[in-house]
Amino acid sequence: MTPEDLRFLLVGAGLFILGAIGFLTRRNLILMVLSAELMMHGVSMTLVTFGRIHQTQEGQIFTIFTLTVAACEAGLALALVLSLYRKSHSLDINLWSELREPDMPAPVQDAPARIDDGSGSYGDTPKLTPAGIAPKDPPRTKSSAGASSART
Amino acid sequence: MSEEIQQLVLWLIPVAPLASAVITALLGPKLLRYKSHLPCWSALAVSFVCSLILLLKILPSMGSAAVDPGEIGTFAGPQILVSGYEWLNVGDLHANIELRADSITAIMLSMVTGVSLLVAMFGSGYMSHDLGYPRFFAAVSMFVFSMCMLVLSGSFALLFVFWEAVGLCSYLLIGFWFQKPSAAAAAKKAFVVNRIGDFGLIMGIFLIWTNFGSLDFVTVLSDSARIAAVEVKNPGVIQLICFCLFLGAMGKSAQFPLQVWLPDAMEGPTPVSALIHAATMVTAGVYLVARCTPLFVMAPNAQLAVSAIGAATAAIAALTALTQMDLKRVLAYSTVSQLGFMFMALGCGAASAELVTPAVTAGMFHLFTHAFFKALLFLAAGSVMHAMGDVIDMRRFSGLKHALPITHWTFLVGAAALAGVPLLAGFWSKDDILAVLAEASRSKEHGLFFGVIWAVATGTAFLTAFYTFRAYFMTFCGPEKFPEEAGHHPHEATPIMAWPLRILAVCAALIGLAVGPTHLFANYLQKTMGLTPVPPESQHLHWGVMALSSVVAIAGIGLAWMFYVASPKVPGAIASAMKPLYLISQGKFFLDEILKALVVLPLVGIAKLATVFDRGVIDCIVDSIGAIPKALSSIPRQFHTGVVSSYAGFMWAGVVAAVVLVLTMF
């Protein structure tokens, strides 16, 4: 194993860890799907690296397959997210907590986000709530600015 | 007649009603509807014809071969056995579906199927507007099938099965109008009271099994030496068996104190009452005791009990009937009373061994004649009810003589036969019973006992004549009066209802004369297994008893005429003068109330106690066992928060743990 391989492995592990942290901490459905993708690609990275270390084809072949499946799975996941959104008008995962024990308290939830403000530009489609620092330049639409300020 | 044809005839007797029951039950509600009586009629007609063939052709033809009068001990009489298939085969117990017919069976079968056929004909008129028309005929067919099998069964096991089947059918028919709470309650009562008797019967059957090692009638009953051997081995056991069997008979034949169900059974449609009271059901108990005569002969105490219970029942029922205002109830109590007469006669064998056969003959003869005139009376009462718009209270109508002429004269014939007016059916059979009782009272050992019974019987005969004609006079004589329910013009029975009445009236009038004094009945019946044929020279008519019973009957009728026609104020005056006695009779001796206090209320108390135990102890134990998993799960339950991230976290931790485990192990 060359130092180069070690770096590749570290990158894969880093991707996986980051994805896992994102998956465990985020409550936004789309971000969670993205985090899961990140974890998977960390694993793919590792697989390719192992193929390189052992000088075999399996790692790469496996990764090609994984990518194909991941594409399908991403489509499926986003479709599910969309239909969940249509039901609750929110991307908050905590709205879906019926599986808890009946006497457990309900988890903290966001209020359903009102995306459709009458402009008609977004319709009934989900969108990522802005996160991080708000951009300096003026917002493109009124609604995204409103959502950004409402975000806690 | 070849053997195959004989077997076919014998099979047809029960199978025809069974087929009719199945056909009517399956096709009746959708297909046959108001033609549902057709299968029932044809099946009963087939059964009746086959029974007559059996009675008149088959059994007499085999009489000479099978009778072996030389050996009294092993007398089995002419009989025909047809085996079907083996139904139970457990250890030594082989219960076959097997038909066995002898003289008593043939007589019972002809009577049952004949009367049932007439009742079914009447029923199709009586029930013509009822929604449950197919159900009625299915149940009636089933009832007749059960009764035929009961008398045709060749072993106690099969007898018990159909004994229960008769009880079930009576439940279905008494509760025919199950929408009425009173009918449902009456059906339940009949069923439950019969269970008490059935308990006795099955105990008796168990005892017979353990002591005789067989349940076959021929094995158990035909050999008196064997019965004596059993008695020697286990002294008192035969007596116990007889008491148990008699308890069964008491339930089915409504003997004191289990007679409470029979008057309540009036809640069923009137043809059903006629069926239960005349042909099927109540005669089963008398039949059982008559059938088991060889056992009862060995147990004089049981016979005395049979007579005593019979006398008590007859007297109590007759006294109750005096004051009932419901026409059908008067008839119901008269049935109970007449059944008491039959049992009185059946117990007479205790007086002396020569009396056994005449005693059983008298009892069975009364059963036979009673079937005709009681069916007639009930059907006539049904016709009255039909015309009066289902009103049966005798205070609400009177003077129906002119409105219902056919019903009137047929009822009159039936009432006269029941009262024992000379030359009618009831006269001959009641006279037989009184004669046997008089004979028994001359015995040394139990003379006084049977003297008392005889006196009770004579008194009851007087009461019978009185209350029967009280009902007749109240219903048909006096000023013409109809209840509002009848409409303006009460209609006489339709032809389909009138013809059975006419036929039964002729039977009730003539059948006693035809077979009684000519000894046809006695000679035929005495070929039954367990009975000893009485030589012709010792058969004679009892002129003295006849004269007395005629006087008693005429006196009873005369008194009824005096009270209810000549001076109608007298009964009321007597009733108010003897208020307590009147109330006791009116309240049916408060037997229902007494039984309720003695049996029902303690049972309810026990049930309440059991409820407390069930709730407090058993439920408590079960619930605490159920609480264990709940307690154990209280900690892991905390993790099920419904937050996806926390589930994912646990998964992650699990994966990490698995990886660490794998790494440390290898």
Position A21 in a domain: yes
When pLDDT is averaged across residues A13-26 and rounded to a whole number, the result is 91
pLDDT at B407 exceeding the cut of 60: yes
- Is residue A136 one of the residues assigned to a domain? no
Rounded mean pLDDT, B615-635: 90
Residue A148: what pLDDT?
A: 44
ipTM tops 0.85: no
pLDDT band at residue B352 under the 50/70/90 scheme: confident
C-alpha distances in Å from residue B420, one per residue of B133, B521, B582:
36, 18, 25
| Mean pLDDT rounded to a whole number for chain B | 84
CB < 8 Å to A25, chain B: 645
Residue A46 has pLDDT above 90, yes or no: yes
> Rounded to whole angstroms, how far apart are CA atoms B369 and B432?
12
Domain that holds residue A80: 3-96
| pLDDT surpassing 80 at residue B370 | yes
- Binned at pLDDT 50, 70 and 90, residue A133 comes out as low
**A21 in contact with chain B, both atoms CB, cutoff 8 A:** no
Residues of chain B found within 8 Å of residue A98, distances taken between Cβ atoms = 642
| Closest residue by Cα to residue B20 from B143, B160, B171 | B143
Residue A20 resides in a domain: yes
In this predicted structure, the answer to whether residue A117 has a pLDDT above a threshold of 70 is: no
Written as one string, the DSSP assignment of B382-400 is: HHHHHHTTS--BTTT-B-T
* Position A17 in a domain: yes
Residue-wise pLDDT tens digits, B39-61? 888 999 999 999 888 888 877 77
Q: What is the pLDDT of residues B104-117, one digit of tens each?
A: 888 889 999 999 99
B108, B105, B99: which is closest to B153 by C-alpha? Answer: B99
Chain B interface includes A101 (CB < 8 A)? yes
Confidence bin at B525 (pLDDT 50/70/90): confident
Tell me the two tokens of residue B308. 């005593």
End-to-end CA distance of chain A: 47
Mutate to test the interface with A, among B635, B640, B655 (most CBs of A within 10 A): B640
- Is the CB of residue B185 less than 8 Å from the CB of residue B194? no
Nearest to B561 by CA among B482, B467, B481: B467
Going by pLDDT thresholds of 50, 70 and 90, the confidence category of residue B537 is: low
HSE-CB for B580 with a 13 A CA cutoff: 0
Residue A67 lies in a domain: yes
Label residue B642 by pLDDT band (50, 70, 90).
confident
Contact (CB<8Å) A100/B652: no
Whether residue A50 is contained in a domain is answered as yes
Q: CA-CA distance, B320 to B584, in Å (whole number)?
A: 8
Q: What is the pLDDT of residues B247-282, one digit of tens each?
A: 999 888 888 888 888 888 888 888 888 888 877 788
CA nearest to A32 within chain B: B645
SS3 B587: coil
Contact call for residues A37 and A50 (beta carbons, < 8 A): no
| Contacts with B636 from chain A: Cβ below 8 Å | none
What is the number of domains present in chain A?
A: 1
Residue A133 lies in a domain: no
Burial B477-488 (b: 16+ CB within 10 A, else e): bbeeebbeebee
* Residues in B touching A103 (Cβ below 8 Å): 637
Residue A113 located in a structural domain: no
- Cβ separation B652–A24 shorter than 8 A: yes
How deeply is B632 buried, as exposed, middle or buried, from its count of CB atoms within 10 A (0-12, 13-18, 19+)? exposed
Residue B93 sits at φ, ψ, to 5 deg, of -85, 120
User: Is some CB atom of chain B closer than 8 A to the CB atom of A56?
Assistant: no
Q: Which residues contact B173 (CB under 8 A, 6 or more apart)?
A: B136, B139, B140, B143, B268, B269, B272, B275, B276
CB B645 to CB A24 under 8 A? yes
pLDDT (mean) for B168-177: 89
Higher pLDDT, A27 or B73: A27
**Is B644's Cβ below 8 Å from some Cβ in A?**
yes
CATH number at residue A54: 1.10.287.3510
User: In B127-233, where does DSSP find H-type helix?
Assistant: 133-152, 156-174, 181-212, 217-221, 224-233
- B647: nearest CA in chain A? A24
